[in-house]
Amino acid sequence: MTIENLEAYVDSLPDWAILDGCFGNTMIKPSDIDGVIERNGNCLFLEHKRRGVPLKEGQRRLFQALARQGNTVIVYWESDDVITRIVLMTCNGVETRGPAESSLEILRSIVEWWFAHA
């Protein structure tokens, strides 16, 4: 995705401070998801990370909860347009693929598999 107007994009981002105090005495904050697709009632959630950026504990728990509900979640890391790691979460568990098992072609094949089965 190319952002055509970066200033307008940044101006449109919500300030989640409006919800401060709504979640009791916790550190809970809203999380974003980079992409979501629905097909025949089945949902695929996509999360992109730059190499070296960890998946935060709260986001990991969110994604695992979505997977337990029957959704599919793909988290992938990339550096210089090279996919370096893929984590696939489904109701059957979590599968992690390291650099030797990760590429754009593998990511695309996982998404195509999901589409065919959705």
- Assign 3-state DSSP to the chain and report helix, strand, coil percentages, each to 5: 35, 30, 35
Question: Is residue 64, in this structure, part of any structural domain at all?
Answer: yes
Question: Is residue 74, in this structure, part of any structural domain at all?
Answer: yes
Question: Is residue 22, in this structure, part of any structural domain at all?
Answer: no
Question: Is residue 92, in this structure, part of any structural domain at all?
Answer: yes
Contact by Cβ (8 Å): 100, 74: no
Residue 81 has phi, psi (to 5 degrees) of: 65, 20
The total domain count for the chain is 1
pTM of structure:
0.88
Question: Is residue 49, in this structure, part of any structural domain at all?
Answer: yes
Question: Is residue 107, in this structure, part of any structural domain at all?
Answer: yes
Residue range(s) defining the domain that contains residue 70: 32-117
Residue type, 114: W
Distance CA 42, CA 74 (A): 14
- 60-107 per-position pLDDT tens digit: 999 999 999 999 999 999 988 899 999 999 999 999 998 889 999 999
Question: Is residue 78, in this structure, part of any structural domain at all?
Answer: yes
- 97-114 per-position pLDDT tens digit: 988 899 999 999 999 999
